[in-house]
Amino acid sequence: MNISLLRRLCDANGQFVALAQLGEDIDRVHAELDELDDFGFALERHPYYGVAYRGPAERLCPDQIEHELQTQRIGRRIAVWNRVASTNDLAASAAGSSSNDGLVILAEEQWAGRGRLGRQWSAPARSSVLMSVLLDTPSTLDSTSWLTALGAVAVAEVVARFSGREPRIKWPNDVRVDGRKVAGILVERGLGAVIGIGLNVNIPQESFPDELIRSASSLQILCGAPLDRSELARALIRELDHWYDLGILHGPGSLSARWRALSEHLGRTVNVKMPTGSLAGVLEELDLEQGLLVTATDGRALRINVSDVLALTAVEPAADV
Ligand code: BTN
């Protein structure tokens, strides 16, 4: 598929582009437009004016996602599936071969999608970005908390860019806007580490199940229009690769500043649950290497390792909208 041609049409912002501007061989241009049409891209053709881009394909387009991706590790291989049990399972089953380091699995639909704490993760077919990334991590980046932070920061950056809103990370793995969850991250470890990401994209509010209708949101709701999921998947792969590459080059701390800035809890009164018991206090500091600094209600300042935190909740939850 000619994705450069597709990009030229997109860049025209809805204007018609003359066929002669798309290539010297008009028959070939027609054939390439037919291929884009057949895949499902919405193109309007006019006998005099040429062709105009009207919208993305409903299904994920692997060529569009991979086009000039230019990542270091993540996305060296990308597989797009129609229907799978869980993308995390598929990614995990590819572990053990160095050529699969950075493999990205995407699916249009999952029939046994998993969330944290044994919960289900379900989304209507072709509505979301359901993605898993397989990584052969160096020992410095091998912790579940770091990999979860990596997924959350990358998602939050993409949500901010596409929606113009200010997402926040709710410990440890939710990305929320105005107190409503738009994405979740599930890290699972086996032979390799798998970062699973579920990002709600083209889901209208009424399509969420009753129990989520007040707590969940999607990019379509935030933007007021459906989005191009292939562009989102592509942006997410690039963002993940960017932060992972920084981690490889400069260590786990390179993610800390952004992670802290995106935190929903920093500066608030929180309850921290640890294997040794619970603690309530103000969350003064948050760092992936130095851990949390909490000033307890009795005035004591305590440092807590990120990996020792079983749960962290705001004592006064952010106002839900
Ligand atoms: C959560 O918020 O509890 C985490 C949700 C993670 C869902 C994603 S969807 C892609 C990947 N495959 C899965 O089965 N789960 C993750």
- Separation CA 274–CA 155 (nearest Å): 27
Distance of CA 12 to the CA centre of its chain: 27
**Over the stretch 293-306, which tens digit does the pLDDT of each residue have?**
999 988 999 999 99
**Over the stretch 76-117, which tens digit does the pLDDT of each residue have?**
999 999 999 999 999 999 998 989 999 999 999 999 999 998
- Separation CA 200–CA 184 (nearest Å): 9
- Reply yes or no on whether the pLDDT at 132 is more than 50: yes
- Reply yes or no on whether the pLDDT at 48 is more than 50: yes
- Reply yes or no on whether the pLDDT at 213 is more than 80: yes
State which of 80, 81, 186 you would mutate to test the pocket of ligand 1, scoring each by most atoms of that ligand within 8 A of its C-beta: 186
Provide the pLDDT for residue 65: 98
Who contacts 250 (Cβ-Cβ below 8 Å, separation ≥6)?
Answer: none
Question: Token digits for 126?
Answer: 């072709």
294 close to 304: Cβ distance less than 8 angstroms: yes
Q: What angle do CA 79, 12, 42 make, to 5 degrees?
A: 50
| Ligand 1 atom 3 nearest Cα | 115
| Ligand 1 atom 9 nearest Cα | 198
Question: Token digits for 284?
Answer: 């003064």
HEC string of the chain? CCHHHHHHHHHCCCCCECHHHCCCCHHHHHHHHHHHHHHCCEEEEECCCEEEEEECCCCCCHHHHHCCCCCCCCCCCEEEEEEECCHHHHHHHCCCCHHHCCCEEEEEEECCCECHHHCECCCCCCCEEEEEEEECCCHHHCCHHHHHHHHHHHHHHHHHHHHCCCCEEECCCEEEECCEEEEEEEEEECCCEEEEEEEECCCCHHHCCHHHCCCECCHHHHHCCCCCHHHHHHHHHHHHHHHHHHHHHHCHHHHHHHHHHHECCCCCEEEEEECCEEEEEEEEEEECCCEEEEEECCCCEEEECHHHCCEEEECCCCCCC
- Reply yes or no on whether the pLDDT at 217 is more than 70: yes
200 close to 128: Cβ distance less than 8 angstroms: yes
The pTM of this model reads: 0.94
Provide the pLDDT for residue 321: 43
Residues with CB under 6 Å of ligand 1 are: 86-88, 110, 113-116, 119, 121, 130-132, 173-174, 184-186, 196-198
Ligand 1 mean position, distance from CA 122 (Å): 9
- Separation CA 45–CA 51 (nearest Å): 4
